[in-house]
Amino acid sequence: MSTLARTPTAADAEAPGTSRRHRIDDWRPEDPTFWRTTGAPVARRNLWVSIFAEHVGFSVWSLWSVTVLFLGPEYGIDPAGKFLLTAVPAALGAVLRLPYTLAVARFGGRNWTIVSALLLLVPTVPMTVLLEPGVSYSTLMVLACLTGVGGGNFASSMANINLFFPDRLKGRALGLNAGGGNLGVPAVQLVGLAVLATAGAAYPRLVPAVYLPLIVLAALASARWLDNIPAARNAPGALRAAAADRHTWVMSLLYIGTFGSFIGFGFAFGQVLQLQFAERFPTPVDAAWLTFLGPLIGSLVRPLGGQLADRLGGALVTFWNFVAMAAGAALVLYAARDRSFGLYLVGFLALFVLSGVGNGSTYKMIPAIFRARAADEHGRDPAAAERWARRMTGSLIGIAGAVGASGGVLVNVAFRQSFLTSGNADAAYLAFIGWYGFCVVLTWVVYLRPGRTRLAGV
C-alpha cells in the first residue's frame, strides 16, 4: 500500500528521533499562517543561540583591545606597535567575512556555526600559553592576527539569521543579532578589567583562558539547538552580480563609516585614553574601567537603529546619523585641543552610540534596496523577483561586511600615524569628520535625492 510523500517542515526540526532533526526543508517565513504556527518559535530559538555564539566570536576578535593594556614596559612595545596589534585582528576579520558568509549556504548555518565556534580555539589556546614577558613581538603579531577568526563569525551569523525571518521583521532580528554579538567587545573588556583589578597586569593569559569553556559551550549549544535550511544555496554568479552592482560599493562605503567606526574605536579607545590624557590614566586599570563603556552602549543601541529604519526608512536614519557622527567627531577634536576630558568622553561615547545606530540602519537598507529594484529586474514574476532580491541581498551583506570591517583597520592606522607624526590624535579626528561628511553626501545623492531614480522604501 502506497502513501503520499510529505515535505519535511520546520516542525520536524523539533521532533525527537527524526533522522533530519536539524534540517528544515520547508521554510516559508513570509507565509503568515506558517510563521504564526511554526516559523516564529524556530526562528527565535535559532536567533538566541546565534547571538550567544556570535557574542563569543566578537569577544575573541576584541581580545587585543584589552590585551594591549597589559603590555607594560617589560614587553618593550611602543604605542605605535600596540596600535598595530589592534589593527591586524580587524584586517583578518575583514578578509574572512566574505568566505564566512558563503559558508552558510555551502555547509548549512548550524554546521558552520559549530565549526566557526571551534576555530576560536586556534588563537585563544596559544594566547593562554604564550602571553608573558619575553615573548617576541612577531609572536604577538601572529596571535593578534589569529583572533581575526572571530570577526568572520559576525558575517556568517547575520547571513544565517537573515534566512529565518520575514522581511517585515528582519530589521529587528538582525539588529538584535548584531547588537548581542557586538556586546562581546565590552564584555571582553570587562573581563580584562576584572583580571587587572584582581590578579594585576602580570597575568594577561587569564583573559583568553576565561573564554575557553565559553567557546566549547557555544559549539555545543549550536549543535544542540541550531538548524540548517538546505534550500539556501549560493546562486551561481550571485557574488559576481553583486560585485558589479554600484549599490554594493555604496553600501560598503557607508558601512565603513558605521561598523568600521564601531570596531575601530572599540579596539583603540583604551590606548587613545592613555595617550591623550596620560595624567588621568597612569595605569592600565585606570583606563580599563572606562574602555568598555563606549562599546557597551554602542552595542545596546544597535537594535534601535534597525527599529528606527523599519519605521522611518533606512536611508533617512543613516543620513542624519552621519550628520550627527560628524558633529560628534568635531566635539572630540575640540575637547582634545581644549584638554577637556568631560567633553572628550561625551563626544566619544556619542560616536559609539551613533555608530551602533548606523550599523542597524545600514543593514536594514540592504534588503530594501533590492526589494525596490526587484520588479524592474523581473517584471511581473514575483517569485523570480523575490529570489533575485534574496540572493543579491546575501551577496551584498557578505561584501559590505568585509569592506566595512576594514574600517577597523583604518581607524587604528589613522590613530597610529597621527600620534607618530604629531604626538596627538587631531589628524585622525579630522579624517573621521571628512569621512562622515562624505557619507552624508553619498547617502543623499544615491538614496534620498528626489527624482525618477530614487528607490522607494529604502
Per-residue pLDDT of 271-316, as tens digits, reads 898 888 888 887 777 777 788 888 888 888 877 887 888 888 899 9
- Position 19 confidence tier, pLDDT thresholds 50, 70, 90: very low
| Bigger pLDDT: 121 vs 199 | 121
DSSP-assigned beta bridge partners for residue 23: 228
- Position 16 confidence tier, pLDDT thresholds 50, 70, 90: very low
Average pLDDT, the chain: 87
Per-residue pLDDT of 135-151, as tens digits, reads 999 999 999 999 999 99
Answer for the pair 305, 335: CB distance below 8 angstroms, yes or no.
no
Residues whose CB falls within 8 Å of the CB of residue 345, separated by 6 or more in sequence, listed in order = 290
d(CA 7, CA 16): 17
Among 48, 36, 454, 422, residue whose Cα is nearest residue 224: 48
Confidence at residue 5, expressed as pLDDT on a 0 to 100 scale:
37
Mean pLDDT of 331-348: 94
Per-residue pLDDT of 46-94, as tens digits, reads 999 999 999 999 999 999 999 998 888 899 898 889 999 999 999 999 9
Q: Please give the share of the chain, as a percent, with pLDDT higher than 90.
A: 46
pLDDT at 240 over 80: yes
Confidence at residue 147, expressed as pLDDT on a 0 to 100 scale:
96
Answer for the pair 439, 355: CB distance below 8 angstroms, yes or no.
no
Per-residue pLDDT of 354-370, as tens digits, reads 998 998 889 888 888 88
Answer for the pair 180, 51: CB distance below 8 angstroms, yes or no.
yes
Confidence at residue 221, expressed as pLDDT on a 0 to 100 scale:
96
Confidence at residue 11, expressed as pLDDT on a 0 to 100 scale:
47
| Bigger pLDDT: 172 vs 4 | 172
Ranges of H-type helices in 62-183: 63-67, 79-107, 109-119, 121-130, 137-146, 149-164, 167-182
